Structure formats: structure tokens, C-alpha cells
Amino acid sequence: MNLGNRKFVVIGIVVFIILAFIVRLFTLQISDDYWSRKAANLTERSTKIYPPRGLIYDRKGELLVANQAIYDLMMLPREVKDLDTLRFCALLKISKDEFDERLAKMRKSRGWASNKEQVFIKQIRPEDFAPIAEQLYKYPGFYGQPRTVRNYKRGIGALLLGDIGEVVQRDIDRDPYYRPGDYIGKGGIEMAYEDYLRGQKGVRFMVIDPMGRPQESFNEGDFDTLAISGQNLVSTIDSDLQAYGEYLMQHKKGSIVAIEPATGEILAMVSSPTYDPNLLVGRDRGSNYGLLQNDSLLPLYNRAIKGTYRPGSIFKMVQALIALDEDKITPQTRIACNRNLIGCHGPHTYDDLEGAIIHSCNPYFRGVMQRMVEANIKKDRFEDAAIGMSHWKERIESFGFGTALDTDVPGVNRGNVPGKKYYDKIYGEERWAFSTIYSISIGEGELLVNPLQMANLGAIIANRGYYYPPHTVKDIGGQGKLERFRTPLQTNIDPDYFETVVNAMQKVVEQDGGTARRARTPGITVCGKTGTVQNDPLPDHSVFMAFAPKENPQIAISVYVENAGFGGTWAAPIASLMIEQYINDSISDPRKEQRIIDQHFFD
């Protein structure tokens, strides 16, 4: 080979080597980000920015639920080096054993990894975190994460508003938005409107020094994203009425539910006993929850939606309306008060429909339901009862019984409206008839409802036949309420039939022989119906359902006081005080109020 050819070979080898280096550098710097990611992990840290949760207001604009700042102490295990554990524990005011327990628990958790941030201590108040923050530069791998928790301004409506707590694995599996350590709504409005309240998380990338201390934004913040605040809610709740209801129900077990008939908006939802929702905020949430959970009076149990009771005589209003619409009776229909068939009370013998409602005549409504159930189609009492009960059940369910009412309140118990399948399962097919199950005709037996459903019945009668699904939020971020709460639902009862029932309910309160005389309210025409619900072997429940005023009703209400006896004795006056407080913003009879406050059904 001559020298000229050798020169070209050498030049070719050099050019090849140079091109190889260029290709490799391009691969490392442009195509393959392995080394850039490795370098970034050594020099920068990404921090989640948690958005402020949306605020919750009452219907008059009063702030019910706000936010307050707290800090989580975060740990990035791979950056923790040469930790002086004893000095660190002294700074945090924890013992060495507690430090070891926390670390062991973190390492056993599903999300543990040395390159993943972990929550070491949750929800430290700002005044407690300030002295810690000053010293954190001495402890690489630990840093503060600002967060917010809830502040329930008036300490009312605990179960209605709900609370927030740390996500569990099923929350993470269900929605990729959540990561371990995030918070989520737990019950009530906080849970039902979580997607609107939570906002959108952001992220900030910071350059850190070898000690783990943030120095500056990475790349001037070009890769940062802003957190987007959650949407504010205007609830339907009248906070003054809610607070007053909780005041009246002190030392009593039961519930109050109040609804605006014209809209279906829930004005108050009291479950008693209750608790201050601020007990479930901050580092003491776990211990306080345990105390409430173990309380024998069940303050965590929302009696207004989960408690199911026999409706008692209140249910006679539904029976009357359906029977009128089915042409089984007329307002003039009289039925003898035959107390050999079923017990009754009071001096009456042969009432028409209005009189039967006023006197709450049990034999009358037994006869009314018999006419509906014994359809006399197959000429066989067992087959007829099965056909009649199936039709009866369908009509009852149109009033919202046996359903969850499509409400936005989580966890509503549907109750029980028995029908053919139910009784076939208990007694066997064609082994039962009306004579077997007639106790449901007066709201007893296997029939079960919740107080929300009974307040909704008051709204249906107030509206003369329709209702809006009961709901707790009237505005989301300035866009109004959810669409499904804007459309009324019909019972398909002729509105004309309601007048007889409404007039009778007025006389239940105003007539001297009525069972709800303690519900009389000066200047307000209250229409109501008492119930005394059997609860063997314990004392009966005191029950009252009402609406007011008679014309252009503003409020429908149900009151259940457990183990308190006659409906007219306790539930009726409580309802009247709530009605008067809401309509007049004052109480005219302080002695009536004091009588309620002084009565304790438990200490």
C-alpha cells in the first residue's frame, strides 16, 4: 500500500471515531435522558403543591367551613445521612422509641421506597413547625410540606358537613388523582362534592444543595405547575336553624330534618347526640375518632338518614291519598271504629276521612288498606293480596319510600316497603293475606322509613303532589346546583285530593281534640300529624311531621325523639319551635322552649 492510500485510511479512521463520539453524545444528551434524570435526582426535588380546598357557605352566605394552614414533615429516605437521632427527636419532641416505630411503620407500608417522599409526622400546627423549620437544614432528607386542613367555624352540622381524612388504598385504586398521604372527604357534603372541593394539585421543582436545602427554582420555574383551588359551595343549610335544632335536641336521641318544599333544599339536618366537627381535624383526629366510635350513644351514627323507624300514624296520610286516587274511598267515606279488630284511642266511633285523620283512627285506616290490597280480581284472598300488595308497593314508592330519594347526602338507608316478594320469603307463596300483614296499614309492622323520607313526605303534601329530590348544595362555583335537583318528581296523585288531607292536618294542630295541640304557633298555620311509634320492649318513639304555613309553605319538617312516648308530647312542640324560628327568626313562647331544653332522655 502506498503512502497516499495509508493517509486516506488514517483520515477515515479518525473521522469514524469522531462521528462515533458525536452520535454517542447525541444519544446521551438528547435521545437518552438517563444521565440527565440521574443528575436531576442529585440536584433537584419536586414538591407537590396542594390546592386550598373549596370553602362551604350556608344559604345566607355565612362561612361554615374554612381552611387553616398546617405542615407535614416529609422524609426522603435516600437523602438521610449521618442523622443525629437523639437531637432530631428532641427537636420534634418525640422519644427515640416513637421515632423507631414511625420509621418501621413507614418501611412496612405499601408505598415505601428510598427514593419516594414519605410523611414522617402529619399536621403540625404553624406555631409548632416554625422552630422545627429553623433547624431542618441540619437534617438532610427532611423538609416541610405546607398543607391545609378544615376549620368548621360554628362547630355544628358534623355529620351533615362531613370531614376530611387520609386516603386509604381503595381511594387510590379508584382515582389516580390520589397518592398516599392525600386527604379526601369522609361523609356528608365533603364526600358528596369531593370532586368539586378538592381542586387540582400543582408541582414545584427546586434545586437543592448537598444538605438537602432548597436553593432556587429549577430552570426558573418553567416546569412548575400551579395548584388550582377547589370550587366554593353554597349549601342549602340555614346555619342558625341547624344550630337551634342541635340546641333543642340536647340530651335526646333522635333527629330533625327540615326541607324547603318549593326547592327540595335541606334547611337543617340534626342527628342527636352530635359532636363538634373540629374534633376530627388535626393530629388528634385518630384518637378523637376512636372515642366517638366507642361512645355508646353513637354520635357518629346519622339517625336522620341511616336510622330506620316505623313511621306510625304519619303514614296514614299516604294511605289516604292513594286510596282517594284509586277511588277506594271518598272524603265522605265513613268506617266504623271497630276496636275488636285493632286498638284505637279517643272518643270517636264512625269518622269520615277528615275525622279519622284528626283522631288518628286505626280501624279506619285498616279498612282503607284492606280495600286497596284485597283487589278481588282472582276471587282468591291469597292471590288477590299478592296482586294488591304489588300495586300498593309501587304507589308507596312514588312518595320516595323504599328508595334513596336520589339525594346528594351519602349513605341514606332506603328503609323497607314490603311487597309480594318480601312476604313470600317470610311466609311462603300464597300463604299470607291481608289479615296477616294489616299492621302496616297504620305505619307499623315491617314498614320502615328514615326521617329524611318523612320530611320529604311533608314537602310532598305541602306541594300538593310533587317534590324535588332533597339536597344540600344550591351553588357550585357560581354555576348553580346540579341539574338533577332542578326537576320535580310527581306522585301522580290528583292535587284535588290533597285538600282534604291538608285541612285535616291543620285541625290536628288547631282543633281542641287534635293530637298535636302543642304544635300551635301564633300567627303561623301549621299542618301536621303526630305518630307514636311502637318500639317494644323499650318506650315508644315520639314522632311528628308537618309543614307551614298552610298556603305558600316555607318549611316541611320531621322530628323523631327516640323512647320519648307520645308524638304530641315532645316531637310536635320541637317541630313548632323550629318552624317559628325559621319563619319569624324568633320564639314567642320561651316556656315551651325551656320545657324542651330541660327534658333529658339521657345524661
CA nearest to 269, candidates 470, 415, 413, 447: 470
- Same domain for 255 and 180? no
Distance (Å, rounded) from C-alpha 277 to C-alpha 300? 11
- Give the end of a domain, one of 215, 235, 255: 235
**Is the Cβ–Cβ distance between 144 and 75 less than 8 Å?**
no
Query: Looking at the structure, do residues 64 and 197 belong to the same domain, yes or no?
Result: yes
pLDDT confidence of residue 220: 55
Asked if 75 contacts 140 with a C-beta cutoff of 8 angstroms, the reply is no
Beta bridge pairs of residue 186 = 163
Residues 228 and 340 in one domain: no
Using alpha carbons, select from 405, 508, 420 the residue that is nearest to residue 450. Answer: 405
Are 254 and 117 contained in the same domain?
A: no
Residues 244 and 179 in one domain: no
Residue 288 within a domain = no
pLDDT at residue number 225 = 82
Domain with 368, as residue range(s), is 239-276+301-598
Which of 179, 210, 235 terminates a domain? The answer is: 235
Distances (CA, A) of 285 to 78, 123, 299: 30, 10, 15
Burial of 24 (0-12, 13-18, 19+ CB in 10 A): exposed
Q: 387 and 530: one domain?
A: yes
**Inside any domain, residue 418:** yes
pLDDT at 179: 87
Q: CA–CA distance from 132 to each of 47, 201, 300 (Å)?
A: 19, 25, 35
Instruction: Tell me: cis bond preceding 470? Omega within 30 of 0 counts.
Output: no
Total count of domains within the chain = 2
How does pLDDT run across 352-379, given as a tens digit for each residue?
A: 999 999 999 999 999 999 999 987 776 7
Q: Is 39 a domain residue?
A: no
Let me know whether 312 and 460 are in one domain: yes
pLDDT of residue 476: 98
Beta pairing class for 233-235 and 56-57: parallel
Dist CA 82 CA 548 (whole Å): 72
Tell me: do 129 and 268 sit in the same domain. no
User: Tell me, what's the pLDDT at 211?
Assistant: 52
Helices 498-510/316-325 angle, 10° precision: 150
Q: Do 465 and 577 reside in the same domain of the chain?
A: yes
Q: What's the pLDDT at 212?
A: 52
Report residues of the chain scoring pLDDT below 70: 1-46, 206-223, 378
User: How many angstroms separate the CA atoms of 370 and 333, rounded?
Assistant: 14
**Do 214 and 343 share a domain, yes or no?**
no
Indicate whether 267 and 354 sit together in one domain. yes
Q: What's the pTM?
A: 0.87
pLDDT for res 4:
56
Same domain, 151 and 250: no
- Residue type (1 letter), 248: L
Residue 317: the pLDDT is 96
SS (H, E, C) 136-190: HHHCCCEEEEEEEEEEECCCCCHHHHCEEEECCHHHHHHCCCCCCCCEEEECHHH
Q: Which residues pair with 2 in a beta bridge?
A: none
How many CA atoms within 13 Å lie on the side-chain side of 154?
19
**Three-state DSSP class for residue 515:** coil
CA angle 573–575–579, rounded 5-degree value:
115
> CATH number, domain at 366?
3.40.710.10
Nine-digit cell at 172? 387510590
**What confidence score (pLDDT) does residue 502 get?**
97
| pLDDT confidence of residue 537 | 87
The answer to whether the CB of 555 falls within 8 A of the CB of 267 is: yes
Q: List the CATH number of the domain containing 92.
A: 3.90.1310.10
Sign of CA dihedral 30, 33, 38, 44: positive
Whether 519 is in a domain gets the answer yes
Radius of gyration of the chain (CA): 33
Strand, coil or helix: what is 346?
coil
